[in-house]
Chains A and B, each alone.
Chain A
Amino acid sequence: MWQGFPIYPDQASTIAQGVDHLHFFLTGITLFFTAIIFTTIFYFAVKYRRRSEDEKPPLILGSLPLELAWTLIPLALTVIVFVWSSSLYFRNARPPAASMEIFVVGKQWMWVIQHPEGPREINELHVPVGRPVKLTMTSQDVIHDFYIPAFRVKRDVLPGRYSSIWFQATKTGQYHLFCAQYCGAMHAAMGGWVYVMTPADYEQWLSGGAKGESMAAAGNRLFGQYGCVSCHIADGTGRGPVLQGVFGHPVKLQDGRTVVADEAYVRESILNPGAKIVAGYSPIMPTFQGQISEEQVLQLIAYIKSLGTEERKPAKP
């Protein structure tokens, strides 16, 4: 039972140290004020203990300078902590553009992780050290939460939308992966390990084992299987918009608004096609809600993304 008694978690990502510094600062504040309050109480309790029954203390009603002091000093401290912690949080909020992307689907009670290159793993995540990694995550049922304590990252994984976190591992090794949002009977089992590997090892891991088709290839297969290909024709003659070169670019809608074709938009367009119709097209696409899993949606997104690199064809007038 005593084997391994840590009181301090691993620091294995670029942001872990920054979070820890703030954590220690706050711990310092906590200890300082707790010590002040405890010692003052004990000191007063002993020094001013009642010595006789008819003892009369002096009349003290209060002191404005003191009140101001213990209002303004804590206020100043909280402002410091607020600015410090918020700037840290904002810096960590947006993934670097050069991040490699990995897709995560949470379901009761497992994490399904797909690498764009093809490998698919369950409750395990292999990443290379020293490269920013962005996780695009969604849930197939209830709310889950993807939590890697050693990286100090955590994010709820919601059904019906994509959330993302990013990290850059700094140390090879094996770290805990937890679900941190209560999700039902086997909530505690919904976790596993993150393996941080050297880039060479990672490449070897990617190419080794039973390597399936890449996500984009799988998406391409689905694109044919579900008949998407019959309307979304690359030369612009189909009944649906051309998808080549769309991803990440603004799309003009029927009602005059413009949206950026990101993961969320593509997902919505597959599951609820009527919501945002592209200008010049009619709302004829059927919904795929209930026929297609979240993993397949992600594969389709990967496929549509892969089309983005090709030349943009002129859109249908």
Chain B
Amino acid sequence: MSHSQVQGETSPRVHYLNTSYGIKSWLLTTDHKRIALLYLASITLMFFVGGFFAVLIRLHLIEPQGALLEPETYNKMFTMHGIIMIFFFLIPSIPAVLGNFLVPLMIGARDLAFPRINLLSWYIYVVGSVFTLVAIVTGGVDTGWTFYAPYSSVYSSTHVIVTALGVFITGFSSILTGLNFVVTIHKMRAPGMTWFRLPLFVWAMYATSMIQILGTPVLAITIVLLGLERLLHVGIFTPALGGDPLLFQHMFWFYSHPAVYIMILPGMGVESELVTCFSKKRIFGYGFVAFSSVAIAVLSFLVWGHHMFVSGQSVYAGLIFSVLSFLVAIPSAIKVFNWTATMYKGSISYQAPMLYAMGFIGLFTMGGLTGLFLASLATDVHLNSTYFIVAHFHYIMVGSAVMAYLGGIHFWWPKMTGRLYPDGWARFAALIIFVGFNLTFFPQFLLGYLGMPRRYAFYPPEFQVLNVMSSAGASILAVGYAIPLVYLIWSMRYGPIADSNPWGAKGLEWETPSPPPTENFEVTPVVTEEAYNYPTQEVAVV
């Protein structure tokens, strides 16, 4: 199909970016591709706001007594860092940007099932962000992103309600995105696009949407109850007034543990696309990779109690949650092994997206395995609420999820913008990020095992060396994240023109021109082959 497109310089082809101009054409668009770019711009802004707080945190912790901030300010910094990065960057990152852009393209649809709801979800996201940013500007909030009662509902004197309202509102954006994807994937697949021909990214988005739909409403109601308690001084979670603080934790983690998989499952989907494309091979064990996504989505809802092993939860409940938490490790392991096996006898090239993909596998392996320490009751007692936890979830949420997000952005950038970025710079940035990341977070595993609790504005002097190492790594990491911002923006104007399929990848999104026309495909495609059907030798090994 792409051959029929003439990329003449004299009469530019009409595509989704140049079909109309002006602010209004963007703010009122219902085109999923434009909405994806709106999301891209807004979450990038939030990423750097959250990153700014991270830099302040690490700078502050260079000295045991705290180098920079008052303890109250420090508490606000890590709270805002967590809230912004989780609710306003990681959760919408891959689903709302890459998912929005790619799901219709990958399944051969003209748009999502409900384009206006898609736009609405972006506006909801913006309103939620504004609430949260207003809370920051007017003084911030200091409860930690977990909003534990009764600190948040009675004792904190900061802007808990406004921030919680921001998170509550943004939750609906996440729900609507998930709803849109589920309906689209069920009802709008092109002829011949059966479930087992779907790209694994779509499977991952489907599993992610399940979590968004089933989990987010529970967070919403929990936040409302918390707000009610704070506003009316009635006891829902506060023991002095007759409530139980552990109920808040149960309801909060019922959403917030699966939410970790809202962040990592899409990354796993991106990973499957990258590994196959740059190995020029079919995925190893398609069915296992596809179903492990669904298995993770289901199991993720059964394990929340492992956040509460030392909280005063019944030891028997702890036992149940522990065994279930171990189970969720299995589908993750299956994925890692299958990606590795996909590279076996492949034809591997190392463009920037593949470097991110390889970094993802390594960091996810470490992040996942250190999770075993926390699923296991006896070691969790020691490691809970220490820097070990901080290191573990940053390996998952930054090391893996952000790596995959950047890998995906680099992979589909030519499709989204029609331009190529300088691959040398991109590889350099990937390397810097990998090194910086490990230097930042590996020392935190040691700190946690030594017993340094998290959320400490100052700490005993013997922890200083590891903290300084971590802060040094953070500065490298910050540079690593700034480099892509520069060259990607540069490439939008000056980058070489990309053709429809610069990587020689498989998948419907590569069969339409870059950037795609508003309607995605001139003719509805008909799918006749399995996913990742790269040319192979005659010999079949099964």
Question: When the two chains form their complex, are residues B372 and A57 in contact, meaning their CB atoms are under 8 A apart?
Answer: no
B475 at the interface (CB under 8 A from A): no
A67: Cβ under 8 A from any B Cβ: yes
B279 touches A57 (CB 8 A): yes
The answer to the question of A232 belonging to the interface, with a C-beta cut-off of 8 Å to chain B, is no
CB distance from A189 to the nearest CB of B (A): 8
Is the beta-carbon distance between A37 and B362 smaller than 8 angstroms?
yes
What 1/0 flags go to A187-231 for Cβ under 8 Å of B? 111000000000000000000000000000000000000000000
Instruction: Tell whether, in the assembled complex, residue B288 and residue A62 are in contact, meaning their CB atoms are under 8 Å apart.
Output: yes
Main secondary structure of the interface of A (DSSP, over half): mixed
Would you call B155 an interface residue if the criterion is a C-beta within 8 Å of the partner chain's C-beta atoms? yes
Q: Does A155 belong to the interface (CB within 8 Å)?
A: yes
B382 CB to closest chain A CB (Å) equals 4
State whether the Cβ of B32 lies closer than 8 Å to any Cβ in chain A: no
Contact of A37 among B143, B340, B454, B462 (CB under 8 A): B340
Across-interface contacts of B322 in A (CB, < 8 A): 82, 85-86
Name the CB-closest residue of B to A55.
Answer: B347
8 Å CB contact of A57 from B281, B323, B334, B341: B281
Asked if A18 CB lies within 8 Å of chain B CBs, one says: yes
CA distance in complex: A152, B240 (Å): 31
Q: In the complex, which range does the number of interface residues on chain A fall in?
A: 35 or more
Q: Which of B287, B369, B453 contacts A179 (CB 8 A)?
A: B453
B449 touches A48 (CB 8 A): no
Q: How far is A89 from B534 in the complex, measured between Cα atoms in Å? A: 51
State which of B378, B462, B465 has its C-beta within 8 Å of the C-beta of A85: B378
CA separation between A1 and B467, bound complex, in Å?
11
In the assembled complex, A40 has its CB within 8 A of some CB on chain B: yes
Q: Are B345 and A142 touching (Cβ within 8 A)?
A: no
Q: Looking at the assembled complex, report how far the CB atom of A93 sits from the nearest CB atom of chain B, in whole angstroms.
A: 5
Interface mask (B339-374 → A, CB under 8 Å = 1, otherwise 0): 011011111111000000010011001100110110
A178 to B446 Cα, complex, angstroms: 17
**Cβ contacts under 8 Å, A153 to chain B:** 381-382
Contact of B240 with A159 in the complex, beta carbons under 8 Å: yes
Residue A145 lies at the interface, judged by CB distance under 8 Å to chain B: yes
Does the CB pair A188–B245 fall under 8 Å?
no
CB atoms of A180 and B384 under 8 A apart:
yes
- Contact A149:B451 (CB < 8 A) given known A45-B343, A71-B330: yes
Are A156 and B311 in touch, CB under 8 angstroms?
A: yes
Classify chain B: how many residues form its interface, as a range.
35 or more
Q: Which residues of B contact A176 (CB under 8 A)?
A: 451, 460
For window 507-536 of B, CB contacts with A under 8 Å fall at: 534-536
Query: Of residues 130 to 184 in A, which have CB atoms within 8 Å of B's CB atoms?
Result: 141-143, 145, 147, 149-150, 152-156, 158-161, 163, 176, 178-184
Which residues of chain A have a CB within 8 Å of any CB of chain B?
Answer: 1-9, 18-19, 22-23, 26, 29-30, 33-34, 37-38, 40-41, 44-45, 48-51, 55-63, 66-67, 70-71, 74-75, 78-79, 81-82, 84-86, 88-90, 92-93, 108, 141-143, 145, 147, 149-150, 152-156, 158-161, 163, 176, 178-189, 289
28 chain-A/chain-B pairs, Cβ below 8 angstroms: A1-B465, A4-B462, A9-B450, A22-B376, A22-B378, A23-B449, A26-B373, A37-B336, A38-B365, A40-B340, A50-B348, A57-B281, A57-B347, A57-B534, A58-B345, A59-B282, A71-B330, A74-B329, A85-B376, A145-B310, A152-B381, A155-B312, A158-B312, A159-B240, A180-B384, A184-B156, A185-B142, A289-B240
Which residues of B pack against A, CB within 8 Å? 71-72, 75, 142-144, 148, 150-151, 154-156, 238-240, 245-246, 279-282, 284-288, 310-312, 315, 318-319, 322-323, 326-327, 329-330, 333-334, 336-338, 340-341, 343-350, 358, 361-362, 365-366, 369-370, 372-373, 376-379, 381-382, 384-386, 446, 449-451, 453-462, 464-465, 468, 534-537, 539-542
With contacts A33-B369, A154-B382, A189-B458 known, what are 14 further pairs, Cβ within 8 A?
A: A22-B379, A29-B372, A30-B366, A38-B365, A48-B347, A59-B540, A59-B541, A60-B281, A70-B334, A82-B376, A147-B451, A158-B239, A158-B312, A187-B75
